[in-house]
């Protein structure tokens, strides 16, 4: 689930293994000095906090610094950078891709977010005695909700060959469907009356923020279903 080239985001473990056959490992001796250069040149991308990189960032860097950066060393540096846990965390958060000026330029594909979530979970679970599966399932559900896709469309994008991961995906989507049903019922009840959100929340014994979030989720689902590409 880690990036195999500077412009490729995380893939599933089985895909990673197959694609990396015969590939030379990244040499830290080549990569680290270049990463230090990049952190100095672009601290907003490679500094204390990482940001997801736009596609084609390698070409952009070479064009901006043809005399300073060696192509082979830069490829090694970007490969090491995009495989790091710190970078994968930013992808898993669903942040947009950024250009050299630090400006967001394109959304992160849902499948890249999902695969980054799985890889970050795998790494953290290997170091933890606690079961982190419930947290991962919640994060998958949140990523699905942010995607704006139908459950079927989302599953077709992110499903891989790992049956355990697929089962977790199915559980998360099932929870999302149940939440959608509750949100829809709440929206119908709210729109059938003339109460304000605070009054409605008080009547149902709910927090105002929870009601607002549920209504917003239900309206997003309505918008998704109304869109021509919802299927």
pLDDT tens, 57-83? 999 999 999 999 999 999 999 999 999
In the chain, what is the straight-line distance between the N-terminal and C-terminal CA atoms, in Å? 27
Q: What is the pLDDT of residues 11-41, one digit of tens each?
A: 444 444 444 455 555 556 668 899 999 999 9
Q: What is the pLDDT of residues 86-126, one digit of tens each?
A: 999 999 999 999 999 999 999 999 999 999 999 999 999 99
Question: Closest Cα to residue 136, out of 155, 154, 117?
Answer: 117
In this prediction, residue 7 carries a pLDDT of 47
In this prediction, residue 17 carries a pLDDT of 43
User: What CA dihedral angle connects 205, 209, 213 and 218, to 10 degrees?
Assistant: 40
Mean pLDDT of 129-150: 93
3-state secondary structure of 106: strand
Query: Cα-flanking dihedrals φ and ψ of residue 145, to 5°?
Result: -60, -35
- Burial of residue 134 (number of CB atoms within 10 Å: 0-12, 13-18, 19+): exposed
Mean pLDDT of 198-226: 88
Please tell me the distance from the alpha carbon of residue 179 to that of residue 164, in angstroms, as a whole number. 23
Question: Closest Cα to residue 137, out of 95, 87, 174?
Answer: 174
> Is residue 223 scored above 90 in pLDDT?
no
In this prediction, residue 3 carries a pLDDT of 39
Instruction: Tell me the sheet residues that pair with 104.
Output: 98
What global pTM score does this model have? 0.77
> Is residue 10 scored above 50 in pLDDT?
no
Specify the long-range contacts of residues 166-174, CB closer than 8 Å, at least 24 apart. Answer: 168/133, 168/136, 168/137, 168/140, 169/114, 169/140, 171/137, 172/137, 172/138, 172/140, 172/141, 172/144, 173/141, 173/144
Query: Cα-flanking dihedrals φ and ψ of residue 210, to 5°?
Result: -65, -40
In this prediction, residue 226 carries a pLDDT of 76
With pLDDT > 70 as the criterion, what percentage of the chain qualifies? 85
């Amino acid at each position: 689930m880690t990036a195999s080239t500077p412009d490729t985001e995380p893939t599933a473990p089985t895909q990673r293994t197959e694609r990396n056959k015969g590939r030379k490992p990244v040499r830290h001796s080549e990569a680290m000095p270049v990463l230090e250069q990049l952190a100095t040149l672009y601290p907003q991308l490679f500094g204390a906090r990482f940001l997801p990189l736009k596609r084609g960032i390698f070409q952009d860097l070479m064009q901006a610094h043809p005399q300073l950066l060696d192509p082979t060393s830069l490829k090694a540096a970007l490969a090491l950078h995009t495989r790091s846990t710190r970078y994968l965390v930013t992808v898993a958060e669903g942040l947009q891709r950024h250009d050299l000026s630090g400006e967001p330029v394109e959304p992160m594909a849902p499948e890249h977010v999902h695969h980054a979530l799985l890889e970050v979970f795998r790494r953290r679970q290997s170091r933890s005695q606690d079961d982190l599966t419930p947290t991962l399932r919640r994060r998958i559900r949140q990523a699905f909700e942010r995607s704006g896709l139908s459950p079927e469309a989302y599953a077709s994008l992110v499903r891989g060959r790992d049956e355990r991961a697929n089962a977790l995906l199915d559980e998360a989507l099932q929870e999302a469907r149940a939440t959608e049903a509750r949100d829809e019922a709440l929206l119908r009840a709210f729109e059938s009356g003339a109460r304000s959100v605070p009054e409605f929340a008080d009547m149902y014994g709910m927090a105002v923020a929870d009601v607002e979030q549920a209504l917003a989720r239900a309206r997003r689902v309505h918008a998704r279903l109304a869109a021509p590409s919802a299927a």
